[in-house]
Structure 1
Amino acid sequence: MNICVFLSAAELSDTYTRPARRLAELIGKGGHTLVWGGSDVGLMKVVADGVHESGGRLMGVSVTFLVDKVRRGVDDMVVAADLAERKRLLLEKADAVVIMVGGTGTLDEATEILELKKHGHTGLPVVLLNTAGFYDGLKEQFRRMEEEGFLPRPLSELVFFAEEPADAMAYLEEALGAR
C-alpha cells in the first residue's frame, strides 16, 4: 500500500517524534511505501528514516523551491513545479492518506483531501493522527460543521481520527482490505 503522509518538516519534541517513529516502523514492517513531501528535515526526516530502516520504500514528491532539502537515495523522487502540482501528485500516488501534526501547509493538504472526498472526487481512506490531542480543536470544528449541516456527508465517511499510530494502520488495512 502506498501511504501518503502529510506532516511537518519542523524539528519537534519527542511528544511528536516518538509516535512518528512508531507509524514509520509500522509502514515499513508492513511492506508499505511512504509517499511524502520528499524533504530530509524535521519530522519528515524522522518518518522517512523510520520507514527506510524498517524495510519500507520511499516515494518523495518535492517542489522546486524546496529542492535543496530533498532526501537523496530514495526509491522514487519527483520534483513538482509548484505546491498545487505537488499535492496532486502526492494524492495520485497514494492508496491512503495519514495526516500528522503540522502547520499551515499540512492543514492545507488536509482540507484539500477532505474537500475532494466530500465531493466524491476520491475514495482514499484518510486518517487524522491526533497525537497528544494536537487536532482536538479541529475535530470539534468538524463535528460542529457536521451538526450544523455544512457537510453533505457524515464526518465518519470523510476522516478517521486515530489517537495512536497502530489505530491508524489498523483502520487503513481494514478500509483497503474491504475494497
Structure 2
Amino acid sequence: MNICVFCSAADLDDRYTRPAREFAGLIGKGGHTLVWGGSDSGLMKVMADGVQEAGGRLVGVSVEFLAHKARPGADEMVITRDLAERKAQLLARADGFVIMVGGSGTLDEATEILELRKHGLHTKPVVLLNTAGFYDGLKQQFQRMEAEGFLPLPLTELVFFAEEGVGAIAYLEEQSGLVPPVVQG
C-alpha cells in the first residue's frame, strides 16, 4: 500500500518524533511505501528514516522552491512546479492518507484531501493521527461541523481519528482490504 503522510518538516521534540518513528517502522515492516513531501528535514526526515530502516520504500513529491531540501536516496523523487501540482501528485500516488502533526502546510494538504473526499472525488481512507492530543481542538471542530449540519456525510465516513500509529495502520489496511474486518458478535 502507498501511504501518503502529511507532516511537518520542522524539528520537533520527542513527544512527536518518538511516535513518528514507531509509525514509520510499522509502515516499513508492513511492506508499505511512504509517499510524502520529500523533505530530508524535521518530522519528514524522521518518517523517511524509519520507513527506510524498516525495509519500506520512499516516494517523495517535492516542489521546485523546496527541491534543495529533497531527500537523497529516496526510491523515487518527483519535483513539481507548484504546491497545487504537488498535492495532485500526492493524491494520485497514494492509496490512503495519514495527517500527522504539522503547521499550515500540513493543514492545507489535509483540508484539500478531506474536501475532495467530502465531494466524492476520491474514496481513499483518511486518518488524522492525533499524537499527544495535537488535534483535539480540530477534532472538536469537526464534531461541531457535523452536529450543526456543515458536513454532507457522517464524520466517520470523512476521516478516522487514531491516537497511535498502530490504530492508523490497522484502519488503512482494513479499508484497503489487506486484512479482513473484525466481526463483532
- TM-score band w.r.t. shorter chain: over 0.9
Aligned-partner SS, 2:97:
strand
Aligned-partner SS, 1:11:
coil
1:15-40 residue CA offsets vs partner (Å, 9 max, x unmatched): 00011001100000000000000000
1:28-59 residue CA offsets vs partner (Å, 9 max, x unmatched): 00000000000000000000000000000000
Which residue in 1 is equivalent to 2:111? 111
Which residue in 2 is equivalent to 1:94? 94
Which residue in 1 is equivalent to 2:165? 165
Q: Using the alignment, how far apart are the partners of 2:52 and 2:25 within structure 1?
A: 9
How do residues 34-113 of structure 1 correspond to structure 2 at under 5 angstroms? 34-113=34-113
Superposed CA RMSD in Å reads 1.0
Give the drift of 1:73. Answer: 1.2
Aligned-partner SS, 1:12:
coil
Which residue in 2 is equivalent to 1:32? 32
1:97-145 residue CA offsets vs partner (Å, 9 max, x unmatched): 0000000000011110110010000001000000000000000000000
Instruction: Say how many residue pairs are matched.
Output: 179
1:67-112 residue CA offsets vs partner (Å, 9 max, x unmatched): 1100011111100000000000001000000000000000011110
Which residue in 1 is equivalent to 2:140? 140
TM-score normalised per structure 2: 0.95
Aligned-partner SS, 1:150:
coil
Q: Give unpaired runs (5+ residues) of structure 1.
A: none
Aligned-partner SS, 2:40:
coil
Structure 1 runs (4+) deviating above 3 angstroms are none
Aligned-partner SS, 2:176:
helix
Q: Using the alignment, how far apart are the partners of 1:86 and 1:163 within structure 2?
A: 27
Aligned-partner SS, 2:58:
strand
Q: Using the alignment, how far apart are the partners of 1:153 and 1:166 within structure 2?
A: 26
Q: Using the alignment, how far apart are the partners of 1:45 and 1:60 within structure 2?
A: 11
Q: What letter corresponds to residue 30 of structure 1 in structure 2?
A: G
Which residue in 1 is equivalent to 2:183? none
Which residue in 2 is equivalent to 1:150? 150
Give the drift of 1:9. Answer: 0.2
